[in-house]
Amino acid sequence: MTGFLDGAPTSWRIDAERSEYHFESDDVGSLRIFADPQEVPKDIGPIRLLVMMVEGTASLLELRIEDGAGNPVLRLADDTGTRTILDIERDGDGSLRFNGEIEAHLVAHPMSDRVPGQRHPLVLDVVEGQITVAGH
């Protein structure tokens, strides 16, 4: 996943084995995505996302960025809209592949050292994302 956080270039690598997906039916399911930092601003570490899929429409329910020690730094702002477009394909071997775009505004986690209330725009392009195991 590549993009920009506060205008700074970012990239995270999806950890296919720590991420998971579960589908109730062909049309309803969820993806929990965990990704490790590759190129990120100072004090930014892994990212976690929860995406709900309903009849082909993706909704970003949760997004959290941690520092290198695993402490939450930024989270999805409650009062702003997000834009999530994901195309998903399931492979015969049980893995799930996806491509798309995610746009959101983040705010500081209450326990972080960041300024409360300040908006942090995040834009991500997901290319060849993969989760290898369904429903741990």
- What are the tens digits of pLDDT across the range 13-56? 999 889 999 988 888 999 999 999 999 998 899 999 999 999 98
Q: Is residue 106 part of a domain?
A: yes
Q: Is residue 136 part of a domain?
A: no
Number of domains in the chain: 1
Q: Is residue 118 part of a domain?
A: yes
Q: Is residue 100 part of a domain?
A: yes
What DSSP designation does 115 have?
P
Closest residue by Cα to residue 129 from 12, 9, 10: 12
Give percent of the chain above pLDDT 90.
58
Q: What is the pLDDT of residue 134?
A: 52
Expressed as residue numbers, the domain containing 37 is: 2-131
Span 115-119, average pLDDT: 78
pTM of the model: 0.88
- Which pairs count as long-range contacts for 50-55, CB under 8 Å and 24+ apart, including other chains? 51/84, 51/86, 53/23, 53/27, 53/28, 53/29, 53/86, 53/88, 54/27, 54/28, 55/27, 55/28
Q: What is the pLDDT of residue 93?
A: 75
- What are the tens digits of pLDDT across the range 80-92? 778 999 998 887 7
Task: Reply yes or no on whether the pLDDT at 111 is more than 80.
Answer: no
Q: What is the pLDDT of residue 35?
A: 96
C-alpha dihedral over 32, 122, 2, 49, to 10 degrees?
A: 0
Q: What is the pLDDT of residue 26?
A: 80
Q: Is residue 81 part of a domain?
A: yes
**Mean pLDDT over each residue of the chain, to the nearest integer:** 88
Q: Tokens standing for 67?
A: 């520092």
Q: Is residue 55 part of a domain?
A: yes
DSSP states along 22-48: EESSSSEEEEEEEEEEEE--TT---EE
Q: Is residue 28 part of a domain?
A: yes
Q: Is the dihedral of CA 74, 75, 77, 83 positive or negative?
A: positive
Task: Reply yes or no on whether the pLDDT at 63 is more than 50.
Answer: yes
Question: Which residue(s) pair with 33 in the sheet?
Answer: 49
Pairing label, strands 20-23, 8-14: unpaired
Q: What is the pLDDT of residue 76?
A: 92
Residue 63 or 117, more confident = 63
